[in-house]
Amino acid sequence: MKLKHIYIALIACICFACESGTSQNKNYITDLTIDNNGLTCDGITMGNHTGNIKKSEFSYGEKITLYYKNMTGFVLQDSLAYPNMDIFVTNKKGDTVMSQKDLFKNIKEGYTEEDLNLRSNLTFAAPMIPNNSYQMHINVIDKNSDGYFNLKKDFTIIENPLLKTKADGLTYKILYLYSQTRDIAIVDDNISPNESVYILLEDLEGYAIDADGKVDLLASISLTEANGRVINENNNLFPEPVSAVDLKDQLYASLKVTEGQISNPVTCVFKVKDKKSGHTFETSVDLIVAKKK
């Protein structure tokens, strides 16, 4: 049953290129706190797979990139800068929930400040969970001096608002849309024809477990066009009882809309019922299926 966990992600990284990136004054994010010594930049922008974003609420599994426009102030050696970076996240109590230090410890080469296009990539997933608030800390460090550029930004992880969910007796901690084709958590309603998409549930509880450690589920998934035509439907996703251990770990249903004439939006409905307790879960999402331009 297990497909994949999206673990996080403070997989922050750095890219270097002779380009100015996507930064524009109007796109600079302002809801952050900066403490710096020596190192400065013109501004910071943020983006995900949909383009530039300015927000503090992120869907579970969402991947973002922070772009630092024109970072300068490094003590140069032979006209080259040598940056490093630490990233960590704290919860509302101030406890560190994840941390990565010396992200560029093994990068030996230097870069001219003109060619330095500094970025941080982050994915918001376990051990962070939806409906909780956190604070990200990103520290840019000059390896050749005591210069630094530290930023803090408060943020909240939410369940994807595209998923309309109701449950009676079945509970869960994490629910999200995942594209295996693009290896991203989907945060908008756009998918491509033939794209492999999954609805994933984690830490599901509220079902009856038999003596063999199994759970007897009735589960279905359907895809219906805006004109009412049913594209696909499976009313028996689990013909045999499933392991309670695997079920708590992860439950998923897959969907794919093949290429052709589609009446958008396409509504996907995923239903789960525990046969013994009668407890239920249902979620639906409206998707726009179109080729990427």
d(CA 198, CA 176): 8
Res 19: pLDDT: 38
Q: Which residue type does 135 have?
A: Q
Q: What does the pLDDT read at residue 24?
A: 53
Q: Report pLDDT for 107.
A: 85
- Predicted confidence at residue 33, as pLDDT, reads 96
CA distances from 185 to 170, 191, 250, 275 (A): 23, 12, 15, 30
| pLDDT given at position 10 | 45
pLDDT of residue 4: 43
What are the chain's domains?
Answer: 25-158 (2.70.50.60), 164-289 (2.70.50.60)
Structure tokens at 256: 């794919």
Kindly state the average pLDDT of the residues 188-207. 96
pLDDT at 129: 93
pTM of the entire structure? 0.86
Q: What is the pLDDT of residues 88-101, one digit of tens each?
A: 999 999 999 999 89
Q: 23-27, 138-142, 146-150: which range is least confident on average?
A: 23-27
DSSP string computed for 206-247: -----TTSEE-EEEEEEEE-TTS-EEEEES-S-SS-EEHHHH
Name, in order, each residue with C-beta under 8 angstroms of 240's C-beta and a sequence gap of 6 or more: none
pLDDT attached to residue 104: 87
Q: What is the 3-state secondary structure (H, E, C) of 279-292?
A: CEEEEEEEEEECCC
Strands 190-191 and 280-289: parallel
Question: In terms of Cα–Cα distance, which of 290, 288, 87 is closest to 193?
Answer: 290
Strands 230-234 and 190-191: unpaired
Between the alpha carbon of residue 75 and those of residues 92, 113, 178, 195, the distances in Å are: 36, 10, 43, 47
Residue whose pair of structure tokens reads 């520290």 in the numeric block: 139
Quick check: 11 pLDDT over 70? no
Mean predicted confidence (pLDDT) in 269-279: 98
pLDDT value of residue 289:
96
5 has pLDDT over 50: no
Rounded CA-CA distance 215/209 in Å is 5
> What pLDDT digit, counting tens, does each position of 108-136 carry?
889 888 888 889 989 999 899 999 999 99
Q: Is the Cα dihedral 20, 25, 28, 32 positive or negative?
A: positive
What pLDDT sits at residue 8? 37
How much is the pLDDT for 141? 96
Residue 16 confidence class, pLDDT cut points 50, 70, 90 = very low
Q: What is the mean pLDDT of residues 241-264?
A: 94
Q: Two tokens at 185?
A: 């958590």
CA distance linking residue 153 with residue 201, whole number of Å: 28
pLDDT band at 1 (very low <50, low <70, confident <90, very high): very low
Instruction: Give residue 173's pLDDT band: very low, low, confident or very high (50, 70, 90).
Output: very high
Q: Average pLDDT, stretch 5-27?
A: 47
Which residues have CB under 8 Å from 271's CB, separation 6+?
Answer: 219, 220, 221, 280, 281, 282
Confidence of residue 238 (pLDDT cuts 50, 70, 90): very high
Q: What is the mean pLDDT of residues 55-62?
A: 95
Per-residue tokens: 89: 């996240």
Amino acid at 59: S
